[in-house]
């Protein structure tokens, strides 16, 4: 967390900075664990000061600000990072500030409670070598229905575990994998090589449906309240969750069985034993 819908919401929330000129970047005073910023601030500023923001893109779970120099300033939220243009949830966890001019938005902020996120400036060649060029899978909202099952071909891993692999498909995380599989009626421990073509297409369809609706609802703000959109507001897709973090509650699909919790690859998985039987 944040996953694809939350990061896409962040991206859309800062689109107003396109066309702005960068004044400078600063590592904000913070007594907490420092985040990784590369290159160091003085070197970063030499490359970005005076540059114009050409676009705001997303690469899976990363917000990518592309400059007119074609360098990319990349925000990777990891567990608790937020990209904001409004006052942050707390001042003590504010990590980075990008000052702008020629734009109604004066600052882009990076806030991170746990300090696991990072900010990185990459040249076009570095961006291709480190992040594209076969290093990551196609985006979950860009991959075709025909290509989707091919990405999982040859693996005997459990489907829920494989869906989290960003080298296979980019953007799916723990929360949304559980929701997708519940809607598709697929047991999370089903091996990928045991899923037939019809079932793969159903998983794909449910993935698109879940992500599009979650983006419409501006993501999921969980009980810890960490995730916020770009103007420090809550998402609302958490009200649509069917299984995630609902252990012991009635399944919304069959209305009878309880939601069950297991651990896969050190991550909690929630599902309904009745609706998601092993085949």
Which residue is catalytic, options 78, 106, 267, 274?
Answer: 267
83 DSSP β-pair partners: 110
Report the alpha-carbon distance of residue 100 to residue 50 in Å, rounded.
9
Asked if 62 is an active-site residue, the reply is no
Which residue among 2, 77, 88, 188 is the active-site one? 2
Q: Let me know if 273 is a catalytic residue.
A: no
Closest by CA to 53, choosing from 23, 31, 79, is 23
Catalytically annotated residue among 3, 6, 8, 158: 3
The reply to whether 95 belongs to the active site is no
Q: Which of 11, 58, 61, 151 is catalytic?
A: 61
Task: Mark whether 2 is an active-site residue.
Answer: yes
Residues noted as catalytic: 2-3, 61, 267
């Amino acid at each position: 967390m944040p996953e694809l819908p939350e990061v896409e919401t962040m991206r859309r929330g800062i689109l107003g900075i396109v066309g702005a000129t960068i004044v400078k970047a600063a590592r904000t005073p913070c007594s907490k664990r420092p985040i990784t910023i590369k290159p160091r601030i003085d070197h970063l500023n030499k490359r970005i000061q005076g540059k114009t923001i050409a676009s705001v893109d997303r690469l899976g779970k990363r917000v990518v600000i592309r400059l007119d120099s074609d360098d990319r300033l990349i925000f990777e939220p990891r567990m608790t990072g937020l990209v904001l243009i409004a006052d942050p949830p707390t001042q003590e966890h504010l990590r980075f500030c990008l000052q702008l001019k020629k734009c109604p938005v004066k600052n882009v902020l990076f806030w991170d409670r746990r300090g696991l996120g990072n900010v990185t400036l990459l040249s076009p060649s570095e961006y291709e070598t480190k992040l594209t060029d076969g290093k990551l899978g196609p985006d979950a909202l860009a991959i075709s229905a025909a290509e989707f099952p091919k990405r999982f071909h040859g693996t005997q891993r459990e489907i829920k575990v494989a869906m989290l692999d960003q080298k296979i498909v980019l953007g799916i995380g723990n929360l949304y994998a559980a929701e997708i599989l519940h809607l598709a009626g697929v047991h999370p421990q089903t091996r990928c090589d045991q899923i037939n073509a019809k079932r793969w297409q159903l998983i794909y369809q449910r993935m698109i449906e879940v992500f599009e609706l979650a983006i419409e609802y501006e993501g999921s703000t969980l009980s810890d309240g960490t995730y916020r959109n770009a103007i420090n507001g809550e998402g609302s897709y958490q009200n649509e969750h069917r299984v995630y973090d609902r252990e012991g509650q009635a399944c919304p699909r069959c209305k009878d069985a309880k939601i069950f919790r297991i651990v896969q690859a050190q991550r909690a998985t929630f599902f309904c034993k009745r609706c998601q039987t092993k085949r």
